[in-house]
Structure 1
Amino acid sequence: MRTELFLEQIRILLHMYADGLLGGEVMPEDALLGVVPAAELPNVLTMAMSLNYQRNAYALWQSVAKAYIDENTRWVFDPHAASLSDPVALQTALLLHRVALQPNRHPQIWQRVAGGIVHSSANGDVAGMIKAAQSDIAILKNIMQHTRKSEFPYLSGPKIFNYWLYVMESYAGIVWKSRELITIAPDTHILQASVKLGICSEGVLNGTAEDRHYVAEAWETALRGSGLAPIDVHTPLWLWSRAGFPPLIA
């Protein structure tokens, strides 16, 4: 595919997204808007994304909103409280509103991630962890994917890590240093859209770690010098795939 044609298709896609032609008036994370105070969003977003994302995203965030509204379960989103909690109490609270689906593994991961946040922050919360890293993606990447990787299962993976950076920017207002390091988060919809646009072959639809890495690198290469960061096209691509690939019409 010629670069000019490809970039024109991306511009059309972005315009369609901006005009609401791809749907997405309500995104999954929007369930927290008006429910979770701005100051608490970093904790709630991060803790909720610490679990395996292989589930319906809308159902996940609706469950998170319910758990936050419930004063008896809101404490699970406080990393310090969650890290020190009785495992049975944490399990009960996470299962109540179906924030956790796996009764043993999910609460264990939740508590481990909470501990990782506390250990990486003077304040014991996500905002403190980001502050300690100077809002620098390169520093956070080193912490979560290398020096403390064992404390951030799932979150340390490239797919969720990059989407977490995007969500923190979009919903919690975090201004990142080294923003160009945010790569696209290649979930199933992104893989399908990438094939549809012709930057990858259908082989990547197997969805292996190698496939996802290849797709992320392909987007970095395709958009280099365009003024767009790969993560800028994530949501339009995701919605385009979810909508069944409506024609790209200027």
Structure 2
Amino acid sequence: MSIIIDKERGKKVAELLYDSFSTTGIHGRTDMPEDITPNRVVRGSLDHILFLTLTVSIDYQRDAPSLWESSRRTFDDPETRYLFDPKLLHETPLRKIIEDMQKYKLSKKTKKDAYIWRTIGITFYKKWEGDPCKFLKNCNWDSSLILNRLRNDTHLYNGRLVPDYPYLRGPKIGPLWLRMLRDNVGITHLRNLEEVPIPVDIHIARATLTTGVVRGQFKGKLGELFKYIREAWFESVKGLSIKNRPMIALDVDEPLWHLSKYGCSNRDKTTGYCPLLNRCEAREFCIKGKVKIENRIVELET
């Protein structure tokens, strides 16, 4: 393995993508799948926070637009609205939750997703009176402590300790939740967000590799590159400023996601040819060579 992190290239990519996403968009888009709220839900309300928190907890190996659409339809249906109420999740048998999460295809892995969803809901009901903000306040709004507590807080279940926040505690979903709390809910007093790593998924990985911010020779599991990708964006944004504040790694999450999903995903995995190159905002950084990601295996020759 021979991997290079090019933070100077990363600075230029970060500035370009952030500016594009904030103005004209990337491949014509300036919105994220989670930006649309369910009907009659007020941005920043407890309903909004619970909608985002529970939905993002099962945002793994999913097509994001379809996941969030399914969640909105589930929320808007009076018969399945209870799935977003921690008290009612506590009172409802798991088998009914499994059944109702399938009505609008909210769950993909039926039993697993229902377990994750119900466990997190019950945690907020039993420990935080149904309000995730009480958990955040207990963590003193400190992002590093929030992530640490997500990873380590447990409860006793059938005689053994199990996580309070399954999957919400993960290295992708935890940081993603914090970004949504800032950007979608509007919580402005989260502290130490600069210490939160970028939530790496296949799109963040692909966009980082195809722009050459992380490049080299590699063949192996995609997850083995995640530490390089996190480090690359931690380092690349240092010294950059946006909106009268320092840029942080979370600020390039949405732009990179768009670049990959609506752009780099169309690139030929072996030759590097991209049919969208001429109208891509990041075309000057599109690196030549092989960037092949299939079944969580990467072949990189750049």
- TM-score, normalised by the number of residues in structure 1: 0.88
Q: Does residue 213 of the first structure (1) align with residue 227 of the second (2)? A: yes
Asked if 2 retains the 8 angstrom alpha-carbon contact of 1:191 and 1:205, the reply is: no
Q: Which sections of structure 2, spanning at least 5 residues, go unmatched?
A: 155-161, 241-245, 265-279, 285-302
Asked if 1 retains the 8 angstrom alpha-carbon contact of 2:143 and 2:191, the reply is: yes
Q: CA deviation at 1:5?
A: 4.8
CA RMSD of aligned residues (A): 2.4
Name the counterpart of 1:188.
Answer: 202
Counterpart mapping for 1:149-160 below 5 A: 150-160=163-173
Asked if 1 retains the 8 angstrom alpha-carbon contact of 2:54 and 2:120, the reply is: yes
Q: Does residue 18 of the first structure (1) align with residue 22 of the second (2)? A: yes
Structure 1 residues 196, 115: closer, same or farther in 2, change over 3 A? same
Q: Does residue 29 of the first structure (1) align with residue 43 of the second (2)? A: no
Q: CA deviation at 1:249?
A: 7.0
Counterpart mapping for 1:158-177 below 5 A: 158-175=171-188, 176-177=190-191
Residues 213-247 of structure 1: CA deviation (Å, up to 9, x unaligned): 33112211222333320010111111112232515
Asked if 2 retains the 8 angstrom alpha-carbon contact of 1:182 and 1:230, the reply is: yes
Larger helix share, 1 or 2: 1
Distance in 2, matches of 1:142 and 1:4, equals 31
Structure 1 residues 198, 95: closer, same or farther in 2, change over 3 A? same
Distance in 2, matches of 1:61 and 1:55, equals 10
Q: CA deviation at 1:4?
A: 4.8
Q: Which sections of structure 1, spanning at least 5 residues, go unmatched?
A: none
Larger relative contact order (CA 8 Å, sep ≥ 6): 2
Counterpart mapping for 1:112-131 below 5 A: 112-121=119-128, 123-131=129-137
Name the counterpart of 1:243.
Answer: 262
Distance in 2, matches of 1:4 and 1:26, equals 27
Please tell me the residue identity of whatever aligns with 1:138.
S
Please tell me the residue identity of whatever aligns with 2:259.
W
Q: CA deviation at 1:44?
A: 0.8
> Which has the larger Rg?
2
Distance in 2, matches of 1:204 and 1:76, equals 42
Q: CA deviation at 1:116?
A: 2.3
- TM-score, normalised by the number of residues in structure 2: 0.74
Larger strand share, 1 or 2: 2
Distance in 1, matches of 2:122 and 2:6, equals 48
> Matched residue pairs, number?
248
Q: CA deviation at 1:14?
A: 1.9
SS of equivalent residue, structure 1 residue 195: helix
SS of equivalent residue, structure 2 residue 173: helix
Residues 160-188 of structure 1: CA deviation (Å, up to 9, x unaligned): 11111111111111121112122211111
Name the counterpart of 1:232.
Answer: 251
Residues 83-133 of structure 1: CA deviation (Å, up to 9, x unaligned): 332112212221111111222222122111112223441x22212222222
Distance in 1, matches of 2:187 and 2:219, equals 32
How many percent identity over aligned positions?
25
Alignment counterpart, residue 101 of structure 1, candidates 92, 95, 108: 108
